Amino acid sequence: MSIIIDVLVMTAQLIAIVDPVGALPIMVSMPGIDKPEVFRRALRIIAIAVPSLLIIFAVVGPYILSAFNISIADFRIAGGIVLLVIGIDTLREGAPRTMA
């Protein structure tokens, strides 16, 4: 039962990282996407690239962090700082400058 819960938690985290709903407007705004062959080709590229990158970084990521002598705690702190800066920027100016 514990394995099933772990798999569900990891799946939810990956869906949050990939953010398919947030990527939908970008996909729709692509030039020529209204043609079915362009749409299928884009979906095929995405379906191959995203899982491949996730697997590569899941396997190689710890080695990259250790090569730069970065711990997971350091990485979490840096991510929190980045989110803090984006949040403060959003509160001050409405839309984050980092999005541009």
Residue-level pLDDT at 56: 92
Strands in 1-100 per DSSP E: none
As a dihedral over the C-alpha atoms of residue 3, residue 8, residue 11, residue 17, rounded to 10 degrees, the angle is -120
Tokens 């700082």 correspond to 81
Domain positions in the chain: 1-68, 70-100
- Contact (CB, 8 A) for 72 and 65: yes
Q: Considering the entire predicted model, what is its pTM?
A: 0.61
pLDDT band for position 22 (cuts 50, 70, 90): confident
DSSP label of 62: H
- Over residues 43-96, the pLDDT tens digits come to 899 889 988 998 898 899 999 999 999 998 999 999 999 999 988 888 888 765
∠ CA 15-58-2, rounded to 5°: 65
Residue-level pLDDT at 69: 95
